[in-house]
Amino acid sequence: MNYMPYIKLNDLNLFYEEFGRGEALLFLHSHFSRGLLAFSGQILPFQEYYRCFYPDFRGHGRTICESLNWNSRKIADDMASFLDAMEIKHAHLIGYSCGAYVGCYIAAKYPDKVKSLVTIGGGAYPRPEGAEDFLPENLIAKNDTKFMEDMKMRHYEAHRGDWQTYLKNTVADWKSHPNLTDEEWAAIKCPALFINGEHDPFGSCIELQNKVPHGEIYEVKGGGHRPHFVSEQAKELNQRILDFLFSVDKQLVD
């Protein structure tokens, strides 16, 4: 197999990393992050059992597109196209923060492509509080040079130096997503596991279960918005997610 880190999808030249063998597992990253960066604590544990994909979303990381505009719904369409291009009929999804919304959109719109859905740090409603702090003019006013430099470097290929537009897109997306209709929530039929830290200010596994009643929930004691990070509760979360995935795969075989 000739591994190429880029794949052409419509108007995108999408960058992705791939590790492992087995059933497909698609990792969906957060707003300010990119593929591997959001899931560094999951690379080794999950590649032992699954064929893991870590794409950089439209507008992020090393993915290249002529247009700098993006939103979570468009990214969900991109990810469905990515699975088609890789000739993957269906995959497990693990989404963190913005990636959790993307995962929900995929599961609702493309149910045949989704074996299961795991969300980390997700919620059922937009939480716009604090988003505008990350507008370029507000970061400049605060002289938050470290964050600005991180965004310039982390997403340079995607925004080609126009980090202001990247941040404006991010803030707009943060303020308006997720925004699934009742019909869309009802369309999520796949096995689901919703994970949040008990101190997560940006989401709630309970409100997600209210929208998708068959979904399982797992609240991480002492956890915040990113309990799967190496510096937080990665070992605990990895085992919980793997147990869930194994159970789904067993049910499908049986």
The pLDDT tens digits for 45-95 are: 999 999 999 999 999 999 999 999 999 999 999 999 999 999 999 999 999
Mean pLDDT computed over 84-107: 97
What H or E segment, with its residue span, contains residue 237? helix 234-253
The pLDDT tens digits for 140-182 are: 999 999 999 999 999 999 999 999 999 999 999 999 999 999 9
pLDDT value, residue 232: 87
Measured over the CA atoms of residue 230, residue 25, residue 166 and residue 71, the dihedral's sign is negative
User: Which of 40, 18, 36, 25 shows the shortest CA–CA distance to 94?
Assistant: 25
pLDDT value, residue 81: 97
Tokens of 141: 């006013």
- 1 has pLDDT over 60: no
The pLDDT tens digits for 205-252 are: 999 999 999 999 999 999 999 999 988 888 999 999 999 999 999 887
pLDDT value, residue 4: 63
d(CA 244, CA 233): 17
pLDDT value, residue 127: 95
CATH 3.40.50.1820 fits 6-253, yes or no: yes
Task: Provide CB contacts within 8 A for 164, sequence distance 6+.
Answer: 136
Query: Are the CB atoms for 17 and 86 separated by under 8 Å?
Result: no
Q: What is the dihedral of CA 232, 234, 236, 239, to 10 degrees?
A: 170
- Cis bond leading into 178, ω under 30°? yes
Mean pLDDT computed over 14-41: 95
d(CA 156, CA 166): 10
Measured over the CA atoms of residue 76, residue 46, residue 52 and residue 110, the dihedral's sign is negative
Say what the pTM is.
Answer: 0.95
